[in-house]
């Protein structure tokens, strides 16, 4: 027993984002060092199907309008949990 929570119950079963979904939003300012720290923290706390995982949480913009749009994300959950956000285009 590793003491880590298994993420299987939290993994979304929806299809992956389309190729056109290229904007990723994270709460707070990020640096390479900070992202590494967050990924390692997730690895200490969680596993997936018994295996260690690295990861960070992000919001992916899926639509031009509505709750999955950039404006919708920034006005919704992201704004409720983070004082500021970082926006990057994903390749």
The contacts of residue 23 (CB under 8 Å, 6+ apart) are 60, 61, 70, 87, 88, 89, 90
Residue 23, H or E segment: strand 23-27
What is the model's pLDDT at position 80? 66
What is the model's pLDDT at position 47? 92
Is this prediction's pTM over 0.75? Answer: no
Q: pLDDT for 8-49, tens place per residue?
A: 888 777 777 777 777 777 777 778 898 899 899 999 999 999
What is the model's pLDDT at position 89? 62
Mean pLDDT comparison of 27-31, 63-67, 84-88, highest-scoring range: 63-67
**CA-CA distance, 32 to 54, in Å (whole number)?**
14
Mean pLDDT of the chain: 80
**CA-CA distance, 10 to 16, in Å (whole number)?**
15
Q: Is the pLDDT of residue 86 over 70?
A: no
**CA-CA distance, 28 to 18, in Å (whole number)?**
25
């Amino acid at each position: 027993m590793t003491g880590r929570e298994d993420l299987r119950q939290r993994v979304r079963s929806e299809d992956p984002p389309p190729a056109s979904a290229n904007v990723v939003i994270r709460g707070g300012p990020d640096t390479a060092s900070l992202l590494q720290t967050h990924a390692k923290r997730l690895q200490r706390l969680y596993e997936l199907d018994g295996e260690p995982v690295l990861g960070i949480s992000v919001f992916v913009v899926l639509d031009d309008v509505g709750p999955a749009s950039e404006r919708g994300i920034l006005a919704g959950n992201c704004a409720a949990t983070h004082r500021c956000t970082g926006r990057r285009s994903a390749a």
